[in-house]
Amino acid sequence: MNEVLFLVYVCWSFLLLGFFLTVQLVTYPNFLSVSRATLSNYEKDHRKRITPLVVGLFSIDLSLGLYLLFFDSFISIAVVLSFAVYGVSLLWFLPIHKSLETSPSPRLVRFLILRNWVRVCLVLIKCLFLIWLFLS
C-alpha cells in the first residue's frame, strides 16, 4: 500500500471529523438563534454555501478511499463507513434541510442536531479504525 497516501487518507478522515464536529457543535446550534421568520432564508443560505464544501470533502474522501482499496482490502471497512455517511447525508439530512426551508421550526432544528451525532459517530469510528489499521 502507498503509505504516504494512506497517511493522507487518515489525516483527511480526521479533517472530516473536525468538519462534522464543527457543524454539530457550532453551525447547527446557531440555527436555534435565528428567528422563526428568517430561519427559512438562513437555511437556504446555509445550504447554498455548505453544499460545494461538502461535495468537495466527500469527493476527495471517496477518491482516496477507492484508490487505496486497490492496495489493501481492509480499507473497504473505511470506505463502507464513508458510504454510510454519504447515504445518511443524502437520504436523511437533505430532506430535513429542505423541510427547514418550507416549514422552519426549532423542533426540526433540534431533530437535526440530535440526528447529526450519527454522522459524527460514523466518521469517528472510521478514524479509529484507520488508526488501528495504521498501528497494526
- Which is it for the CA torsion 64, 122, 89, 15, positive or negative? negative
The model's pLDDT over 124-134, given as tens digits with 9 standing for 90+, comes to: 999 999 999 99
Residues in the chain: 136
55 CB contacts (<8 Å, ≥6 apart)? none
pLDDT band at 1 (very low <50, low <70, confident <90, very high): low
- Give me the chain's average pLDDT, please: 94
Threshold 0.75, pTM exceeds:
yes
Q: What is the pLDDT of residues 91-121, one digit of tens each?
A: 999 999 999 999 999 999 999 999 999 999 9
Per-residue burial over 36-66, b = 16 or more CB atoms within 10 Å of its CB, e = otherwise? eeebeebbeebeeeeeeebeebbeebeebbe
At 5-63, the pLDDT tens digits run: 999 999 999 999 999 999 999 999 999 999 988 999 999 999 999 999 999 999 999 99
All structural domains of the chain with their residue ranges:
3-135
Q: How far apart are CA 133 and CA 74, in angstroms?
A: 8
Closest C-alpha among 45, 20, 46, 48 to residue 113: 20
Q: Helix 3-22 vs helix 106-135: angle between axes, to the nearest 10 degrees?
A: 160
pLDDT at 116: 95
